[in-house]
Amino acid sequence: MEPRIDLPANGLGAKIGKRIYNVGVAIRQSPLPQPTQELVMLRASQINGCGHCVDFHAKEAAAAGETAVRLALVAAWRESTVFTEAERAALALAEEGTRLADAHTGVSDRTWDEVRRHYDDDQTVALVSLVALVNAANRLGVIVRNPGGSYEPGMFAGMAG
């Protein structure tokens, strides 16, 4: 499978990609726990079917110390015992925020209340922004058909600036 267009090789694509990456840096530097960030990005990417993003986030999470068991179970987190209540709230928000078109209510009050029970204002802002950002990245990847499988942890680290 070949991508339809190589966004980073295109001048405008590279410029946009750099800005998206830098928004991600701001979120990564937030007080939202890094393992939670990785799980949320992986779950949204699974739902959206972005092979490149699933590859990216699974490998980055593993490189950061996430266990194989938790990575394997993130797609079935509701039926798993390996996630904390706070992580479960974040995963619920990721799912509901990703499946906006599938739910007439968008993000439920129950999910929002659970998020607010576990996360302070800055963490909540980071979590909401992360869900929006990963969904945007997923759409870019799916639209241009970026395949998964070749990502190496840290390979985009030089994009900041």
Q: Where are the domains of the chain?
A: 33-151
pLDDT band (50, 70, 90) for residue 35: very high
CB 17 within 8 A of CB 133: no
Q: Under 8 Å CB-to-CB from 27, ≥6 apart: which residues?
A: 37, 126, 129, 130, 133
Q: Is the pLDDT of residue 158 over 90?
A: no
Quickly name the fold that domain 33-151 has: AhpD-like (1.20.1290)
What pLDDT digit, counting tens, does each position of 132-142 carry? Answer: 999 999 999 99
